[in-house]
Structure 1
Amino acid sequence: MKFKKATMEDFDAAFDFIEKLWSYNTYDKDEIKDIYRQVIDDPACSVFFAVENGQYRGFCHCAFFHTFWLSGMTCYLSGIITAEDVRGKGYGVAIMDEVKRQAAERGCKGIVLDSGMPRTEAHAFYEKYGFDKGCYGFDLIF
């Protein structure tokens, strides 16, 4: 398995993962394409795929920024997902290890994420990986 930096040529694969990750949302593909373009061009973000034998096995998006909370650089893990048929086979751990590597390379003091309430399997994965459940997440959608 290798990690591949996301490009516009990968958009359809990314969109498929995005729809599965936040399945409770509905998305306008053109709008997401514009956002995807902005995110992959943003030097404060990392968007990549786990690829094996030409198949997309996972997708990840994280952003790096300064916070008062961690008193320095912080990695916000916005989205991480593996293809359903490879779950439990180490891809998620490999992706998370890559996020940790990138966060350390940028001098981050930690990785933070939030996760939808119904995603109990993901919560178990995060806790097994070593994350602590430290707060509630709140949304104010416009």
Structure 2
Amino acid sequence: MNIRVAKSEDTQTICDLLKQMGYPQPLALIQEKFEILHSDPRAQILIAEEESKICGFLSLYFIPQIALQGDFAKICYLCVDENMRSKGVGRLLVHEAERLARQRGCDRMELHSGMQRPLAHQFYLREGYVDAPKYFRKALN
């Protein structure tokens, strides 16, 4: 299994993986968002591939803190192909994200995972993450 930085030609597979996770979006939107993130020095999209087949991706964002010594990194999306789950793909992506975060001076990782994803919650708990139940959201429509 190889972990690498995403390229623009990966957007179709990223779009397909997001659809598996319940986020069906037009390819044009994914391509547009990819270009925005790809040009942002605080963003990183990692690809897991095996024998040139993409098995998953992780979108990571580095967030500076004004009042604390260390910054933090947020896992925005972790998507593993449904045929490759429970085979270590997610673990490899998360470990690489954590390595990059440490390298950038982050002292913690954060993520949000919806209540409808109990298997993802089990995965994160096994990886040493703890449940931090307060999360507030407001739609800006």
Shift of the 26–11 alpha-carbon distance from structure 1 to 2, 3 Å rule, reads: closer
Unaligned runs of at least 5 residues, structure 1? none
Identify the residue that residue 19 of structure 1 maps to in structure 2. Answer: 19
Question: Offset of 1:58 from its aligned partner?
Answer: 1.0
| Residue identity matched to 1:88 | S
Q: Is 2:74 the counterpart of 1:79? A: no
Separation in 2, partners of 1:28, 1:91: 25
Corresponding position: 1:107 with 2:105: yes
Amino-acid identity (%): 26
Alignment-mate amino acid for residue 62 of structure 2:
F
Task: Give distance in 2, aligned partners of 1:69 and 1:50.
Answer: 34
Contact 1:47 1:60 in 2 (8 A): yes
1:34-63 deviations in Å (ceiling 9; x for gaps): 111111221111101100011111110000
Residue 60 in structure 1 maps to residue 61 in structure 2: no
Which has the higher mean CA deviation after the structures are superposed, 119-128 or 59-68? 59-68
CA deviations 1:54-83 (Å, max 9, x no partner) are: 111111000001135754311011011211
Q: Which amino acid aligns with 1:19?
A: K
The residue number in structure 1 matching 2:6 is: 6
Tell me how large the CA RMSD over aligned residues is. 1.6
**Distance of 1:13 and 1:69 partners within structure 2:** 39
Q: What is the alpha-carbon distance in structure 2 between the residues aligned to residue 71 and residue 133 of structure 1?
A: 23
Deviates more, 1:65-74 or 1:111-120: 65-74
User: What TM-score, normalized by structure 1, do the two folds share?
Assistant: 0.90
Structure 2 gaps of 5+ residues are: none
Q: Is the counterpart of residue 116 in structure 1 residue 114 in structure 2? A: yes
- Aligned 1:10-49 pairs, distance under 5 A: 10-21=10-21, 23=22, 25-49=23-47
Q: Which amino acid aligns with 2:120?
A: A
**Residue type matched to 1:12 in 2?**
Q
Relative distance call for 1:41 and 1:128 in structure 2 (3 A) is: same
Kept in 2, the 8 Å contact 1:59–1:80? The answer is: yes
The size of the alignment, in residue pairs, is 140
Which runs of at least 4 in structure 1 moved beyond 3 Å after TM superposition?
A: 68-71
Give the structure-2-normalised TM-score: 0.90
3-state DSSP of counterpart to 1:36: helix
